[in-house]
Chains A and B, each alone.
Chain A
Amino acid sequence: MEGTKYSPYMPIDSRIVSSMKVFSEASSILIFVVGALVLVSWNLKIAILTSIFHNFSLMAPHSALGAMFLGLALWLQQEKRSKRWVRNLGRGCALFVFILGIISFAGYVLGNNFFAGELFFRLVATSNWVVNLGKMSLGGAIVFIFFGLALLFLDFETKRGVRPAQVMAIMGGFISLVALVGYIHNVPSFVQGVAVSPAVPLYTVIVFFIFHLGILFAHPDRGFTRVLVMRSFAGKMSRIFLPTMFIIPPIIGWLVEYGKYIGLYTLGFNVGLETILNIFTLSAVVTAGIGLLKKQEEYKTKVDVDLLRKEGRFHNLVDIMDEGIAVQDEKGIISFINNRGSAVLGYKPEELIGKSATILFDEENQKIYREQMVKRRKGERASYEIVGLRKDGLKINAIVSPTPLFDEKGDFAGSMAVFTDITERKKAEFEREQFFNFFNLSSDIMVIADPNGAFKKVNLACLKILGYSEADLLTKPFIDFVYPEDKQATLDEMARQIKVGSSLNFENRFICKDGRVLWLSWIATYDKDKGITYATARDITKQKQLVLELKNERVISDAIMETFPGTFAMISQRGGTPRWNKNLEIVTGRTSEEISTMSNEQALEWFYTKENRVKIIEAMEKTFREGSAQLEVEHLLNRGRSHAIYFFNAARIELNKELYIVVWGMDISKIKKAEEDIKKEKEKVDLLAKDLEKFKLAVDNESDHVMITDKDGAILYVNKAGEEITGYMSAEVIGKNAGDLWGGNMSKEYYEKLWTVIDDIQKQPFVGEIINHRKNGQPYTAEVRIAPVLDKNNQVQFFVGVERDITKLKEAEQMKTDFISFASHQLRTPLTAIKWNTEMLRDVKSGELTVEQKRYLNEIENGEKRMADLIKSLLNISRLEAQKIKIEPKPTDIASLISSVISEVNSVANARNCAIIFNESDQPASLIDADPVLLKQVILNLLNNAIHYSKSRKCKIEIGFKEVEGHCQIDVKDEGIGIPSKDQDKVFSKFFRADNAVKVSTEGIGLGLYIVKLIIETGGGKVWFESTEGKGSVFHVAIPTSGMKRVVGDKELSI
């Protein structure tokens, strides 16, 4: 909108504006038409037209042209025309008219009969009406100048809203009005102006007058015509009065003139009448005007008063108002501020009026203010918040509702602002927000409840922790959520809280939505005024659990402490024993009281001897320094009455920045003793080990093969000799079975027998000869003794085997045996020949023998018998010595054996008059495992000796047997020659015969007792005697009741 200089407060009537514009256009067309008509009439010399103008002079043609151009100019520059070239064309027309006017005027000024028109027309017209060409009237010229100018500057408007076009137009209009009045009152000077000027025609005058209005109305809402279009009172007035003032007087004048013309009245009368009428009209108009003005003034006053009153009220209102109101002008200078406003800012109103509004803001907010002012200029009126600066420097928050102000011209005239101090509100809001944040962001439960037990408000934490929705919690009484056992306590606490006003650390349990039970600790305040309780709760479930766990831990640690078989104490660095176990009391004999109150020095005195205290102190210091220590020391027990060696293990701990030692003590007296014992044992063992070493060495170097196997025959140990004999290295054979390695050469029965002896039943040592083979396959003969080693339960643990490679021995023996066999065979053969031949000789069939022949035959037979016996004995001995005689114990009835021997020797005994007494009846009947053959030989030899060495006439031989000390003892008592003491140790020797024995008989070989000894001792028994020379002897043979030892052999005794 261009018209910022136009006050937007005075609205215009747009209908009038458009009517005026229509008028303006119409007037332009009118003037154009008139001008055209004149020109046409000039051209066509049309009488009609001349007749119309008969009373009036015709307008000069160039005037008419000018008129046309004027019409064009106006028409082309109507406001609605938008095209520039149109308007410029209009301006061009206006310029032409102006020039025309100037030239014409110049003609008048210069006194030049300057028929500009002629000049002009001469160029174009025919000569016909040149004569009658008039000149433009002066008035017309001037009008043309004015109108021309007006139309040239039609659109121009000064800054202050003045339109020169309107001024020009009015000038032109005034001239035409003057001319009109001249016509009415017949004043030629009014019409002509100067004498030389033709009269401007009436119609021209009228047209000019109308045209001037048209120019004025070209832009009716601009310039001073604006008032005509305003809706306001002024507009109304002007619309009424201006035309009246211009129209009515001329009409009155004309009426008067007409009255005068028709002779209604005289000259003086009509002037007087005119004067009266004028007075009347004028006064009427003036009165009307005064009346209207009065009304206006009254109205205005009323309005003013009202306004004042209102203003006053407004002021009051304004001042009572909670809000501040300030008005500033366009420069930002405060022109008004109400009391509240200034008070809010800390000023008095007079202090602010006239000052720039910027003093009310700090730098940051001045920026905002300036931004806002820009907005005001634009007419924006949105509210905004700003921080103002009080006089005292405090900041206030304000909401400003601005209203921009514009003056009548529409220029920015400042603004009015209604502002409210929202600092408090802001604070309150902020606090509320804070509270709300706090309320909801808090991780503790926060609730507001009414005394009836319902939650009114719950925070997010409450919902989260308990798991219920807000709806759940707010609709039920909160007691519903309390754990049943705690309900009563909770209700009681609620009641108490209401009475007392607050509740602190009240604990109860709540049931969560998912069924879990939580411990909560409440702090609540009851607001009496509001009648509500504010409460906050903390989830202490974990703490409660912790406490429980701690309790449990305590129970456990106490149990550990108390069940420890030793002593426990916790000693503070500063002194004192905060914790200890019962054992400490029991062992030291001190009471709980004593221990709890004893100082460290006291403890030293009570528990340790003087010499040891240093050690204890050192150990404690070590513990504090390095963290741990151990110590073995004598500990006084039972109030110092006894002592024991204790082992202490101490460690340092830190609790609450205090240092403590925890120490366990154990009575190690027994252990110490045990240690001693073990040391001694170890020494013994070491000695044993050494012996074992020696033994091992001995065995290792033993020339016989020594082997130890487990119960299944797997080799555990074999000595060096074994390696040499078997050809296997000990490493090769360990774990393997001996039999697999070098056995297997004997018959199945042999091995079965072997195992039977050593394992299955008998578990006895097996002694015998075995043929094994060496690693290289070479067989060798060994004398083997395999003995089982039995454990406590008589189960075989090991076998110990000793083997002697007797291959060579065997060979030698074999050679010996072979030799003996052969020799005996060879010796026997001739003997047999002697025997049988003598037998044949004896036989009657060979012939009768003389007594002497028979005698010689007897001697031969005797000799043969002796030889035979000798050979037999030699053979037996060699066999016995070679241990080839087998002993096969069988359950033997000793009694019957003895009896049979007695019967055998009976004849011999009778021959020598010896009675053999065998008391069977009082002998215990027993069967003993004995080799009957060998035993028989033994008994035989003994009896034979007894018989042979009896003292000729009537001797008694007693034989019996008894059980003595696990042995079967056979005694043979004789009354014979006895054995001289010097010979007693020799009687068992081979071929030995005592001197007195030799005297008795030269026949004995001296082998009988030797054989007895050999047999009995090989069989595991004993043989001894008592004898007195000349008196007799008693021979004893004892065989173990367990039986004679079995001897594997391949020879029998040659009987």
Chain B
Amino acid sequence: MPKVLDKVLIVEDEQALLAVLAKKFTIEKFKVFEAPNGQIGLEQAFQHHPDIILLDILMPIMDGMTMLNKLRQDPWGKSVPIIMLTNLSDEKKEAEAAKEGCYDYFIKSDWNIDDLVKKVKSKLKQ
């Protein structure tokens, strides 16, 4: 029986980063969905109901915080685990995100992809 893969939604406007992340998570046996901005991210989220979302903040059209907000207003979206993935080290934003109940707030440049995957997996195991 083919295993149901965990779905991960990656919302990131930098194409280079998005591609890498998508490649890595696919290798790690995730079903990957991509969105270049918050708007499409929302669509994707509602459409595919990922098991976890990696969310960038600074994005055009709709930024990460707004999407987070909107997501949390959705009955499904309320409970989906979200990891903010940003280079913006802004405590304010971090606090805000935490308020909206994101699992973690990672500075990209501090993290290896590997560790990222490990984190995601450990979260999904919970």
Contacts and interface: CB of A to CB of B under 8 A. Distances in A.
A-B complex is real = yes
B112 A825 contact: no
B112 A833 contact: no
B70 interface: no
Contact of B113 (A825, A840, A1050, A1052): A840
Nearest to B24: A840
A837 B110 CA distance: 14
Interface stretch (B3-11, B41-49, B85-93): B85-93
A824 B110 CA distance: 13
B17 interface: yes
A1050 B20 contact: no
Contacts of A314: none
Given A836-B21, A836-B113, A840-B24, A824 B87 contact: yes
Contacts of B14: 829, 832-833
A833 B87 contact: no
Contact of B114 (A839, A871, A1051): A839
A841 to B, nearest CB: 10
Given A821-B90, A875-B89, A828 B20 contact: no
Contacts of B109: 828, 831-832, 835, 868, 871
Interface residue tally of chain A, by bracket? Answer: 20 to 34
A839 B115 CA distance: 11
Interface in B20-39: 20-21, 23-24, 27
Interface in B64-107: 86-92, 107
A828 B112 CA distance: 14
Contacts of A828: 87, 107-109
B27 to A, nearest CB: 6
A1050 B92 contact: yes
A821 B110 CA distance: 15
Contacts of A837: 16, 20
Contacts of A839: 112-114
B58 interface: yes
A1051 B91 contact: yes
The secondary-structure label for the interface of chain B is helix
Nearest to B56: A829
Given A829-B14, A835-B112, A821 B24 contact: no
Nearest to A865: B109
Given A828-B109, A840-B23, A1054 B89 contact: yes
A160 interface: no
A840 B88 contact: no
B71 to A, nearest CB: 22
A982 interface: no
A836 B20 contact: yes
A829 B89 CA distance: 12
B87 A825 contact: yes
A845 interface: yes
A953 to B, nearest CB: 33
Nearest to B110: A868
Nearest to B15: A833
B28 to A, nearest CB: 10
Interface string A447-473: 000000000000000000000000000
Contacts of B112: 835-836, 839
A839 B111 CA distance: 11
Contacts of B113: 836, 839-840
A832 B15 CA distance: 12
A825 B88 CA distance: 5
Contacts of B108: 828-829, 832
Contacts of A1054: 89
Contacts of A845: 27
B23 A1052 contact: no
Contacts of A840: 20, 23-24, 113
Contacts of A1052: 91
Contacts of A871: 109
A832 B24 CA distance: 14
A1051 B89 CA distance: 9
- Of the candidates A832, A868, A1050, the one having the most CB atoms from chain B within 10 angstroms of its own CB is A832
Contacts of B87: 824-825, 828-829, 832
Interface in A791-837: 821, 824-825, 828-829, 831-833, 835-837
B112 to A, nearest CB: 6
A879 to B, nearest CB: 9
A61 B113 CA distance: 223
B17 A832 contact: yes
- Of the candidates B17, B92, B109, B113, the one having the most CB atoms from chain A within 10 angstroms of its own CB is B109
A832 B56 CA distance: 13
- Of the candidates A840, A843, A845, the one having the most CB atoms from chain B within 10 angstroms of its own CB is A840
A840 B28 CA distance: 12
Contact of B16 (A824, A833, A1050): A833
Nearest to A884: B91
A1052 B91 CA distance: 7
Contacts of B23: 840
A828 B88 CA distance: 9
Nearest to B114: A839
A821 B58 CA distance: 11
Given A828-B109, A839-B112, A821 B17 contact: no
A216 to B, nearest CB: 183
Nearest to B107: A828
Contacts of B20: 833, 836-837, 840
Interface string A869-882: 00100010000000
Interface string A247-274: 0000000000000000000000000000
Interface string A1019-1055: 0000000000000000000000000000000111010
Nearest to A1052: B91
Contacts of A825: 58, 86-88
A657 B16 CA distance: 128
Interface of B: 14, 16-17, 20-21, 23-24, 27, 58, 86-92, 107-110, 112-114
Closest 7 CB pairs of A and B: A828-B87, A832-B108, A828-B109, A833-B16, A825-B87, A836-B20, A825-B88
8 contacts: A828-B108, A832-B108, A836-B20, A836-B112, A840-B23, A843-B24, A1050-B91, A1054-B89
